A and B are shown apart, each in its own frame.
Chain A
């Protein structure tokens, strides 16, 4: 009797634990002045091409992650497979805040040539979380 109850409890905690990574991140973005995060804006930004100043090549998020977040992506330079971003296809996504911030830094710099704003990051988080 207690075993299924315990299991149910642990499952609840596990789901909450994942949400807890996104929630404090969004809070920190709000503290930086962002508000009303929009997954829709992120969806549009995902496929927006940006010209890299140094190489002249066109870059966008979908260059590596594809337009379907549930698909396996491919590194634009090395060809290495990138696990899906969608939590529905890859439950490890959005469970490590440090990992999220590290890749925001690297990938925004690669795509935009600058850090993403708190607003942009919040939008992207909502977008990824919804997939």
Chain B
């Protein structure tokens, strides 16, 4: 069968019209971690820090974190047992090792199986991309002292969108160096 341009155009148009909306603000990019879907997790854990999406860490990391809430990075973060079980089921169930999005797959592909990172920023890939940004030897010291607050630079962090067009930085030096680093 000969492929006519008109047929292709019709097919493309049909695909566009029939396809689900591509720019739904709340829906995750197919390649990214997406928004949180457990309100208890967002309320309890998001009260002190950014509620890191489960797709950022493997299930074994979430098990370790939720099993040591009494000593959570120097603070007591204990919650009711029922809430803890509920949140752990959510986190482990949607963790990076079982997530289907591109971001999780990339993170997991670079994570040694012996590693159980306790922080999203401990993941080599994440820390590596941002590492220079916190290096005091850079021209201009960044205002942030840690990478913990994703939403400080990623305006769509809660939507789970961390891609190249979804960050903004107020640090002059980073803006100047961005081109040189080839970071899109």
Number of interface residues of B (CB under 8 A): 15
Number of interface residues of A (CB under 8 A): 11
Do B74 and A79 touch (CB < 8 A)? no
Question: Chain B's nearest CB lies how many Å from the CB of A43?
Answer: 25
The majority secondary structure among interface residues of chain B is loop
Do B75 and A110 touch (CB < 8 A)? yes
Do B48 and A109 touch (CB < 8 A)? no
B61-85 interface (Cβ within 8 A of A):
73-78
B13 interface residue (CB < 8 Å to A): no
Residues of B within 8 A of A77 (CB): 48, 73-75, 148
Among A54, A78, A106, contact of B149 (Cβ-Cβ < 8 Å): A78
B50 interface residue (CB < 8 Å to A): yes
Residues of B within 8 A of A106 (CB): 75-78
A75 interface residue (CB < 8 Å to B): yes
Distance in angstroms between the alpha carbons of A55 and B152 in the assembled complex: 26
The majority secondary structure among interface residues of chain A is loop
B49 interface residue (CB < 8 Å to A): yes
Which residue of chain A has the shortest Cβ distance to B71 in the bound complex? A54
Distance in angstroms between the alpha carbons of A106 and B75 in the assembled complex: 8
A3 interface residue (CB < 8 Å to B): no
A36 interface residue (CB < 8 Å to B): no
**Per-residue interface assignment for chain B, residues 129 to 162, with 1 indicating a CB less than 8 Å from any chain A CB and 0 otherwise:** 0000000000000001110110010000000000
Do B49 and A80 touch (CB < 8 A)? yes
Question: Chain B's nearest CB lies how many Å from the CB of A96?
Answer: 11
**Quick one: which of B48, B50, B145, B149 has the most chain A CB within 10 A?**
B48
Do A79 and B73 touch (CB < 8 A)? no
Among A55, A80, A105, contact of B48 (Cβ-Cβ < 8 Å): A80
Given the known inter-chain contacts A79-B148, A79-B149, A80-B149, please indicate yes or no for A110 contacting B76, CB distance below 8 A: yes
Residues of A within 8 A of B50 (CB): 78, 80
Residues of A within 8 A of B152 (CB): 79
Question: Chain B's nearest CB lies how many Å from the CB of A78?
Answer: 4
Which residue of chain B has the shortest Cβ distance to A57 in the bound complex? B74
Do A78 and B148 touch (CB < 8 A)? yes
Which residue of chain A has the shortest Cβ distance to B77 in the bound complex? A106
Distance in angstroms between the alpha carbons of A78 and B149 in the assembled complex: 7
**Per-residue interface assignment for chain A, residues 25 to 36, with 1 indicating a CB less than 8 Å from any chain B CB and 0 otherwise:** 000000000000
Distance in angstroms between the alpha carbons of A77 and B50 in the assembled complex: 12
Do A79 and B146 touch (CB < 8 A)? yes
Binding site for A on B (CB under 8 A): 48-50, 73-78, 144-146, 148-149, 152
Binding site for B on A (CB under 8 A): 54-55, 75, 77-80, 105-106, 109-110
A sample of 12 inter-chain contacts (CB < 8 A) reads: A75-B48, A77-B73, A77-B74, A77-B148, A78-B49, A79-B145, A79-B149, A79-B152, A80-B149, A105-B78, A106-B76, A110-B76
